[in-house]
Chains A and B, each alone.
Chain A
Amino acid sequence: METIELLILLLKFIVFPGAIFCIAYGFFLEWFDRKLYAKFQNRIGPLLTGPKGLLQPFADFVKLLAKEDITPVGADKLGFTLTPLLTVAVSLFTLLFIPIHSLTGVLSLPGDVLLVLFISTVFGLLIMFAGYFSGNRFSMVGTERTGLQFVGYEIPFALSVISVAAAARSLEITNIVNYQVNILGLPLIVFTPIAFAIYLISALAKLEKIPFDIPEAETEIVGGWQVEYSGKKLAFFRLATDLKMVFVSGLAAALFLGGPYGPSIPGLEPIFYTIWFIIKTLIVMFILSNLRSLFARYRIDQVVHGFWKYMVPLAVLQILIVEGLIFMGVI
C-alpha cells in the first residue's frame, strides 16, 4: 500500500502536475505569448513547426541543446555551469506549490506563501549570479541592472501577495484558494484589483519582459547577463523563463482568480480543474502579452523610481482597504 502511494506521489512530481506537465505547458505558454505578440505587431509568428507553429518553442529548446556549449576563459566554471541548472530546478520546485489539478498543490504546508515568495526572489538572485559568473562586461552591467530592478519590483510584488493573504487571513496557498471557493464564493480580485494590477506589473519585471527587459536589453547591452551563455545552458535559461511564466500566471490564478476552481462534473474534478487552470492562466498571459506590446523599454532609474514612488504606496493602500473591509465584515 505504501509503495503504491509513494509511486503516485512520484508520478505527481514527475508527470502530472509536476515536471513534465509544467514544462509542456511552459512551452505552450511561450507559443501563446509569441503568437499573440506577433498578432499585435501585425506579424504571423511561429508557423511551420507543428500545427500553427505550436512546437516551435520545443524545437528551439532541442536545437539549443544540440548547439556548441562554450565556457569563456574568464568565467567562473562551477558557477557558470551550476546557475542554469539551479534556475530550472528552483522554478520547477516552486511550481509544485501551485494548485493545478485540485485545490491543493502537490506540496502544501502552512506558510507556503512566504516560502514561494522567498523562492521567487531567488530567481532574481540566480540571474545576478549568472551574469556575475560569466565575467563579461556586458553581463556585469546586466547584473547591476538586475540587482537594481530587483530592489524595485520585489517589495510591491510581495506586498500585493500579502494583501491577498491578509484578506484570506492565511499564509497557505491551499487555504487562500479554499477561502475563495468555499467561504467567499468569489475570486479575490473583486476586492483586490489594485493588488492584481501591481502583481501583473511586477510580474512583467520578474519575467524581464518589455517594458522591464532592462537587464537583457538587446539594443543596449547585447543581452546583458546572458551574453556568454550558449548551447545547453542557454536552453535551460529559456526553459526556466517558460517555467517562470507558468509560475507567475499560476500564482495569479491561485491568489486572485479563485485557483483552478470552476464548474465541473463531480468525479471528474482533476480534468475540469486543469482546464480551468489553463483558461485562467491564459487570461493572465493574455494581459501580460498585451502589456508588453504596448510600451517602450524604461530606463533603470525610471523603473526603481516608479516602483517605489507609485507601486509601493498603492500596495500599502490596498492592504489598508483589505483591512478596512475585514473590519467592516464584508470579507
Chain B
Amino acid sequence: MSVEKRIFKIPVGPQHPALKEFEHFVFTVDGERVIDVGFRIGYTHRGIEKLAESKTYIQNLYLCERICGICSAAHQGCYAQTVEELADITAPPRGTYIRTLIWELERIHSHLLWLGVAAHEIGFDTLFMLVWRDREVVMDLLEMISGNRVNYAMSTIGGVRRDISDELKHKILKGLDILEERTKYYKEVCMKEQTILARAANVGILTREQALKLNAVGPTARASGVDVDLRRDDPYGAYDEVPFNVIVYDTCDVLARVLVRVDETFECINMCRWLLENLPEGDIRTKFARKIAENEVVGRVEAPRGELFYYIKSNGTDKPERLKVRTPTLANILPVCEMLKGGYIADIPIVLAGIDPCFACMDRALFIDENSEKKWVWSREQLRIYSIKWYKEHGNEVVRERWKQ
C-alpha cells in the first residue's frame, strides 16, 4: 500500500455517537494520526435571533432560555440583565442574589454533566453512570427552587419570579453537603485512576499563546493558563460581593480541563452556601415598563462553558430591534480544531468534549463567502427552501460521490 493511500478522510458528524448534537467535522487521518481538521457548522440553526425581533421583551425571556438546555439560566439571566440595563432599572438585592444562586447551581449541574460525558467518551461508563446519578441531587434542588428541572424560568426582567423560603434554604444546604462529598470522591478518582490519566494527560494540548490568539473562553481558556473569569473581571449580579477563587491550571491538556471544572464545582458549592447564608431581605423584583426607549446595550455573563455575549438594541416599542448572541462554543471552535491536530483518532471524542461543546446554541447561520468576503444571514425558512432546491439539483451527485468514497 502506498503512502498516499493510507491517508484518508473520516467524517465525524452530522450524526455521530461522539457528538450529542449535529455538527460536521472532517478529519484527514494517516493511520491513527489526525493530520488536518475541517469543520462545518450550522446544522442546528433555529432562527432564534430573527424570531426574537417579533416577540416582546417578556416573551423573549423564555425564547432565550431555550437557546441552550444546559446553560438555560445563564442565557435567561444574561438576557434579563441586559434588558434591565437597556431600560435603566436595577433588580433588588434579594432578586440578584437568588439569580446568582441559580447561576451557580446551574454551573454545578453543567460541570457534573460534563464530567459524565467526558467519562463516557473515554469509555469509562461506570463513572458516567455514577456522576449522573449524583447530578440528580442538584437537579432536584433546582426543581425545588424553580419548579423545573431544565428550563428554570427563574429570572425575569427586574428580578426573579420565585422566592426562597427558610425551609427550602435548609434543604438546599443539605443537598450541597452531599454534592461536596461526592465531588471530592470524583476528584480523587480523576487524579488517581491510571486509565483516566493515560487518556487525559498530555492530550489535546492548547498552549497559552494559542488560547489567547484563537480567543478561547471559559474553562477551556482557564485550563490553558489564561486567567480570565468575567465573574471577577467584570462583576455582575452578586459576584462583586461573593468571595471565590478563579481556578487556573497551566498543563493545557484535557486533564487540566477536567480538574478546572471539578475544582470550580467546589467553588460553586461554597458560593451557593455563602449566598444562602447572606441572603438579604426585601423584594425579589421591581416593576418594569413594557416599552423601552431607543438604546443599545452589550451584556456579558460567565456561563458554565465560558463567556456569553448578548447585544440588544431597542427602538421605543415593546419588542427588540435586534438581538445578537454569541455563545462560548463558537469562541471555542477554532481552539478545538487546533487541539485535535496531531492527535490520535481515539482522542477525538474526548478532545471535542473537552470544550463542553453546545452546537445548538452556537448555530446562528452566518454565511461568509470566502472569495468575496460577503456576509449574509438566512432565516430557517430560507435555508430550508435553499436546501430543498439544492438537493433537487445536486442530490444524485452527492449520493453517488459518497458511495465512491
Contact = CB atoms under 8 A, between A and B. Distances in A.
Q: Which of A211, A217, A220, A222 has the most chain B CB atoms inside 10 A of its CB?
A: A220
B214 interface: no
B346 interface: yes
Interface stretch (B90-98, B126-134, B322-330): B126-134
Interface size, A (range): 20 to 34
Contacts of A220: 18, 345-346, 348-349
Contacts of A213: 123
A41 B126 contact: yes
Contacts of B345: 141, 220-221
Contact of B198 (A73, A144, A293, A299): A299
Interface stretch (B47-55, B114-122, B288-296): B114-122
Contacts of B17: 218-219, 222
A1 interface: no
A56 to B, nearest CB: 18
A300 B129 CA distance: 24
Contacts of A40: 126
A40 B125 CA distance: 10
A294 B189 CA distance: 11
Contacts of B124: 210, 295-297
A301 B18 contact: no
B122 A296 contact: yes
Interface in B99-126: 119-126
Contacts of B346: 214, 217, 220, 297, 299-300
Contacts of B31: 144
Interface string B375-388: 00000000000000
B199 A219 contact: no
Contact of B129 (A43, A144, A210): A43
Interface in A163-188: none
A299 B8 contact: no
A296 B129 contact: no
B128 to A, nearest CB: 8
Nearest to A140: B8
B199 A296 contact: yes
Given A299-B198, A300-B32, A42 B133 contact: yes
Interface string B22-53: 00000001011000000000000000000000
A120 B359 CA distance: 45
A151 to B, nearest CB: 14
Interface string A263-299: 0000000000000000000000000000001111111
Nearest to A295: B195
Contact of B344 (A42, A73, A219, A299): A299
A76 to B, nearest CB: 15
A329 interface: no
Interface string B48-70: 00000000000000000000000
A40 B345 CA distance: 29
Contact of B195 (A41, A137, A145, A211): A211
Interface in B201-252: none
A302 interface: yes
A157 interface: no
Given A213-B123, A220-B346, A144 B199 contact: no
A101 B360 CA distance: 59
A70 to B, nearest CB: 14
A296 B193 contact: yes
Interface string A201-229: 00000000011011001111110000000
A74 interface: yes
A138 interface: yes
A300 B198 CA distance: 11
B173 interface: no
A42 B123 contact: no
Contact of B18 (A140, A214, A219): A219
Contact of B122 (A42, A145, A293, A297): A297
Nearest to A74: B403
A261 B199 CA distance: 43
Given A41-B129, A211-B123, A73 B403 contact: yes
Interface in B325-379: 344-349
Contacts of B196: 296
B16 interface: yes
Nearest to B343: A299
Contacts of B16: 222
Closest 4 CB pairs of A and B: A297-B123, A296-B124, A41-B129, A296-B195
Interface of A: 40-43, 73-74, 137-138, 140-141, 144-145, 210-211, 213-214, 217-222, 293-302
Given A217-B346, A222-B17, 18 more contacts: A41-B125, A42-B129, A42-B130, A42-B133, A137-B9, A141-B10, A211-B123, A218-B17, A219-B123, A294-B126, A296-B127, A296-B193, A296-B195, A297-B122, A297-B123, A298-B198, A298-B199, A300-B346
